[in-house]
Amino acid sequence: MINKNKIVYVALSADFLHKGHIKILKTAFSYGDVYVGLLTDEAIATYDNIPYLDYDKRKVIVENLKYVKKVIPQKTLDYTENLNLIKPAYVVHGDDWKIGIQKKTRHGVIKQLKKWSGKLIEPKYTKNISSSLIKKKLTNIASTPENRVSRLKRLINSKNIVRILESHNSLTGLIIEKTKVLKNKKITEFDGMWSSSLTDSATKGKPDNSSVDFSSRITSLNEMMDVTSKPLVFDADNGGQIEHISFLIRSLERSGVSAIIIEDKVGLKKNSLFKNQSDTKQDKPQLFAKKIKKICSSRKIKDFMVIARIESFIVGKGLKDALKRAEIYSKAGADAILIHSKEKTPKEIFSFAKEFKKSKNYIPLVSVPSTYSKVHEKELIDNGFKLVIYANQLLRAAYPAMENAAKSILKEQRALEIDKKIIPIKEIINLIKND
Ligand code: SPV
Ligand code: MG
């Protein structure tokens, strides 16, 4: 009963295709001309991590399948907009969505189709396809430098906030890679890693004053990159000498780093959270802008991001200075602004965001809520922040736990007491699988 004049609608994310998808498309083809509503990154990000392949790559694959007549974007999980646009005679979907979280979407489709007497066709879901195995293979694709570099920009364009956590070694990288919690029926996880100058130096027993040089920082970040696939944001202090910047960018891109953050300070580096900042000097805005321009002209991968970090609030200058700098840095080519603060509340960064939003040079904003940790991600979103960096929490969690174990052994002169509070050896052995 092939009827080539009838439109058949199939929604797909098509990050990877298997025989189940082909079965659906083949069935759809037998009813008429197949229009695929390809879910955009934004639509997928509302229920899952963004796909490994971006929209354009997925579109090329799907539109070249022999059963497919046309590909159109589906911008939400809900089909309503596209169904009303093309009024298909049929919608085809595997019968697995009769239960679970897709149930609501299915009801919506049935309701729309009724308007023009359209029909829902639900072939039996193809079981026994190891999606987890396919996903694992895809993780290897995602961790190729080129794919990983671009992922941060795609996340910023697809999510209302991108969540980054500090990683100071491979094990913490794996925690960021794997930790997931179920919240409001949605799986929540971190989007990427922050290579912090503070925690990387502290892990090496050194102060956060650039005594750990970039080559040592890059060695530890490469160890993290070897075992993870999520994007990494690199804390480059003030970027170092402008004459050396292009070499640093080359190393970072080669490693698959997605963004560099440079701060507008000069002289001997001191951590921004120190109370006394009287000897901290801020760079002249025009000189700092030259560093931004240098990074832009050095990068080979267009999606590698340069984020300018403004330290005006840290050194005691006000909103006006911060805003003036934001304009200059944005015009120089920065992709985003990190407005840093060591206040106990986000008041000053929110007042900055409110003013900067009015600028024609507005670019996304980044927050590091270390001292104002009370702030909730929702408030950051409401105030226009696109990226949140939890800059040091994993190291701060690990240190007292390890110190406590050391103290217990000394006190008890044996390990039994602490044994009960730490994970079994078996778990450590199984933590890292040799595959
Ligand atoms: C870091 O984590 O190294 C940072 C953030 O640069 S802060 O410690 O707040 O300066
Ligand atoms: Mg730092």
150-208 pLDDT tens trace: 999 999 999 999 999 999 999 999 999 999 998 877 889 999 999 999 999 999 999 99
- 46 versus 321: which is more confidently predicted? 321
Q: Tell me if residue 96 is catalytic.
A: no
User: Is the model's pTM score more than 0.85?
Assistant: yes
pLDDT > 90: what percent of the chain?
Answer: 80
Greatest alpha-carbon pair distance for the chain in Å reads: 83
- Residue, of 198 and 143, whose pLDDT is higher: 198
Q: What is the pLDDT of residues 256-299, one digit of tens each?
A: 999 999 999 998 777 888 777 777 899 999 999 999 999 999 99
State the closest ligand 1 atom to the C-alpha of 271, by its place in the atom list counted from 1: 10
Q: Which atom of ligand 1 is nearest to the CA of 272?
A: 10
What DSSP character marks residue 230?
S
Residue 192 pLDDT: 97
Q: Residue 210: CB within 6 Å of ligand 1?
A: no
Question: Residue 130: pLDDT above 60?
Answer: no
Q: Where are the alpha helices (DSSP H) in 159-284?
A: 170-178, 197-203, 214-227, 245-255
End-to-end CA distance of the chain: 49
Distance CA 394, CA 217 (A): 18
Judged against a pLDDT cut of 80, whether residue 402 lies above it is answered with yes
| 203 Cβ below 6 A of ligand 1 | no
Instruction: Tell which one of 210, 214, 273 to mutate to probe ligand 1, the residue whose CB is within 8 A of the most ligand atoms.
Output: 273
Cα separation, 355 vs 348, in Å, equals 11
The residues placing their C-beta within 5 Å of ligand 2, an ion, are: 197-198, 235
DSSP conformational letter for 116: T
Across the chain, what does the average pLDDT equal?
A: 93
- The single residue of 191, 208, 264, 283 carrying the catalytic annotation is 208
Cβ–Cβ < 8 Å for 214, 133: no
Banded pLDDT at 248 (limits 50, 70, 90): very high
370 lines ligand 1 (CB under 6 A): yes
Q: How confident is the model at residue 146 (pLDDT cuts 50, 70, 90)?
A: confident
Over residues 99-109, mean pLDDT: 90
Q: Is the pLDDT of residue 229 over 60?
A: yes
Question: For residue 3, what pLDDT band results from cuts at 50, 70 and 90?
Answer: low
For the cut 60, the answer to whether the pLDDT of residue 140 exceeds it is: yes
- Write the pLDDT tens digit of every residue in 53-95: 899 999 999 999 999 999 999 999 999 999 999 999 999 999 9
What is the whole-number distance in angstroms between the Cα of residue 355 and the centre of ligand 1?
Answer: 25
User: CA-CA distance, 297 to 276, in Å (whole number)?
Assistant: 36
The pLDDT score that the predictor gives to residue 376 is 98
CB 44 within 8 A of CB 70: no
Give the number of the ligand closest to the Cα of residue 210.
Answer: 2
Specify the residue with its C-alpha closest to ligand 1, atom 2.
196
Amino acid 297: pLDDT: 98
Task: Establish whether residue 50 lines the binding site of ligand 1, counting it when its CB lies within 6 angstroms of any ligand atom.
Answer: no
CB 7 within 8 A of CB 87: yes
Pairing of the two strands 265-266 and 281-282:
antiparallel
- Regarding the beta carbon of 272 and ligand 1, being less than 6 Å apart is answered yes
Find the 231 Cα to ligand 1 centroid distance in Å. Answer: 18
Compute, in angstroms, the gap from residue 213 CA to the centroid of ligand 1: 16
